[in-house]
Amino acid sequence: MKIAILSQDATLYSTRRLREAGEAQGHNIQVIDYLRCYMNITSHRPSIVYKGKPLENFDAIIPRIGASRTFYGTAVVRQFEVMGVFATNESQAISRSRDKLRCLQILAKQGIGLPVTGFAHATQDIDGLIETVGGAPLVIKLLEGTQGIGVVLAETSQAAKSVIEAFRGLDANILVQEYIKEAKGADLRCFVIGGKVIASMKRQGAAGEFRSNLHRGGRATKIKLTPEEKSTAIRAAKAMGLGVAGVDLLRSHHGPVVIEVNSSPGLEGIEKVTTIDVAGKIIEYIAKNAEASKTRDRIKY
Ligand code: ADP
Ligand code: MG
């Protein structure tokens, strides 16, 4: 099969591994910098041009869209979909996952466990908002933050109020969330491919840090998930319409809660910690599903 990896940088670990795994399984793999693609969207034969040449006859794409490039990246993915090319994650699903609020609303509708979360526009009734999530301590999050940046723990209502006012003063959209203290600065990354959890790891935040992001100094180790954790991760990926997803869970007193569903989960941490060939499993998933390629997304939100 002819497979394109949509990635800004061919030297990134995840991109390299996907190319290696694809070639090892006998496929023709091309890494395409989606920011350098341009499109004819109106022609009867929609097309994408890359470095002066039309991209043709691809069987599948693996979108690895950077968080700050969601708008253009999803437009390129959508153009491939219009051309009938199978995508491991479709444009709609990527957009959905990039907005934390939209993601949580969809998961809540499916009855999936979540931290109690509030969202508001105006700051006149901050006390009410804080009350909604059970008061301080609480977590405040920028809607489109990544790598732990824009996630703040407010220990007191007063601190929460100041932070919310400051963010809103900058016109930033924020979520206010129950603080899951019992997670003790750790979360679980569940790597889901085609409705199965194929690898998982626990990330523990650095000493004194409640955020477990590896970019913030967190450490990853192998972990065995409970059946409930597994099924929560699988249901979350399905609810979001993602074929490949990194579902992040916290272990709370009220069971596993989903904090985030990532549509371009990194491969480096999970492959190194688990020694599982995650890239190979993504390629196998494509080989199995690309044939029947059609737009499969039937989620309304
Ligand atoms: P980002 O997209 O920046 O990674 P997350 O929502 O994943 O943002 O939050 C970053 C980290 O902060 C999580 O991995 C987790 O360790 C911690 N965290 C996030 N939300 C909560 C919460 N409600 N309670 C406790 N810890 C949290
Ligand atoms: Mg995260």
Residue pLDDT, tens place only, 225-266: 999 999 999 999 999 999 999 999 999 999 999 999 999 999
- The model carries a pTM of 0.94
State which CATH number among 3.40.190.80, 3.30.1490.20, 3.10.350.10, 3.20.20.110 fits the domain covering 117-179.
3.30.1490.20
Residue 50 CB contacts under 8 Å (≥ 6 apart), including other chains: 32, 33, 36, 37
Instruction: Please say whether the beta carbons of 156 and 136 come within 8 A.
Output: yes
| 92-107 pLDDT tens trace | 999 999 988 999 999 9
Return the best residue to mutate from 140, 180, 187, 253 for the ligand 1 pocket (most ligand atoms within 8 A of CB).
Answer: 187
Distance 220 CA to ligand 2 centre (A): 13
| 127-182 pLDDT tens trace | 899 999 999 999 999 887 788 889 999 999 999 999 999 998 898 888 999 999 99
Tell me: cis bond preceding 63? Omega within 30 of 0 counts.
no
Q: Is the dihedral of CA 191, 196, 198, 202 positive or negative?
A: positive
Distance 196 CA to ligand 2 centre (A): 20
Cα 182 from Cα 219, distance rounded (Å): 18
Cα 114 from Cα 15, distance rounded (Å): 31
Residue 40: the pLDDT is: 83
Nearest CA to ligand 1 atom 22: 179
Cα 266 from Cα 14, distance rounded (Å): 6
Distance 149 CA to ligand 1 centre (A): 10
Taking the mean position of all CA atoms in its chain, how far away is CA 32? Answer: 20
Q: Which atom of ligand 1 is nearest to the CA of 115?
A: 23
Distance 215 CA to ligand 1 centre (A): 12
Residue 240: the pLDDT is: 97
Residue 46: the pLDDT is: 83
Residue 112: the pLDDT is: 98
pLDDT class of 293 with cuts at 50, 70, 90: low
Residue 292: the pLDDT is: 67
List pocket residues of ligand 1, CB cut-off 6 Å: 115, 139, 141, 145-149, 151, 177-180, 183, 187, 205, 210-213, 248, 250, 259-260
Residue 295 has pLDDT above 60, yes or no: no
Q: Which atom of ligand 1 is nearest to the CA of 185?
A: 16
Distance 39 CA to ligand 1 centre (A): 37
Nearest CA to ligand 1 atom 11: 211
* Backbone phi, psi, residue 171, to 5°: 65, 25
Distance 17 CA to ligand 2 centre (A): 22
pLDDT class of 31 with cuts at 50, 70, 90: very high
Nearest-ligand number for the alpha carbon of 148: 1
Return the best residue to mutate from 149, 259, 260, 263 for the ligand 1 pocket (most ligand atoms within 8 A of CB).
Answer: 259
Beta carbons within 10 angstroms of residue 177's beta carbon = 23
Nearest CA to ligand 1 atom 13: 211
18 vs 58, 77, 78, 298, CA distance in Å? 16, 18, 21, 27
Distance 211 CA to ligand 1 centre (A): 6
Find tokens 């022609």 and name the residue.
43
Beta carbons within 10 angstroms of residue 105's beta carbon = 15
Nearest CA to ligand 1 atom 25: 180
Nearest-ligand number for the alpha carbon of 187: 1
Query: Does CATH number 1.10.260.30 belong to domain 97-112+182-288?
Result: no
| 40-80 pLDDT tens trace | 888 788 889 999 999 999 999 999 999 889 999 999 999 99
Q: Say which CATH topology domain 2-88 has.
A: Rossmann fold (3.40.50)
Please give, one letter per residue, the 3-state secondary structure of the chain.
CEEEEECCCCCCHHHHHHHHHHHHCCCEEEEECHHHEEEECCCCCCEEEECCEECCCCCEEEECCCHHHHHHHHHHHHHHHHCCCEECECHHHHHHHHCHHHHHHHHHHCCCCCCCEEECCCCCCHHHHHHHCCCCCEEEEECCCCCCCCEEEECCHHHHHHHHHHHHHCCCCEEEEECCHHHCCEEEEEEEECCEEEEEEEEECCCCCCCCCHHHCCEEEECCCCHHHHHHHHHHHHHHCECEEEEEEEEECCEEEEEEEECCCCCHHHHHHHCCCHHHHHHHHHHHHCCCCCCCCCCCC
Q: Which atom of ligand 1 is nearest to the CA of 149?
A: 3
Residue 292 CB contacts under 8 Å (≥ 6 apart), including other chains: none
Residue 171: the pLDDT is: 87
Going from N- to C-terminal start, the domains of the chain cover 2-88, 97-112+182-288, 117-179
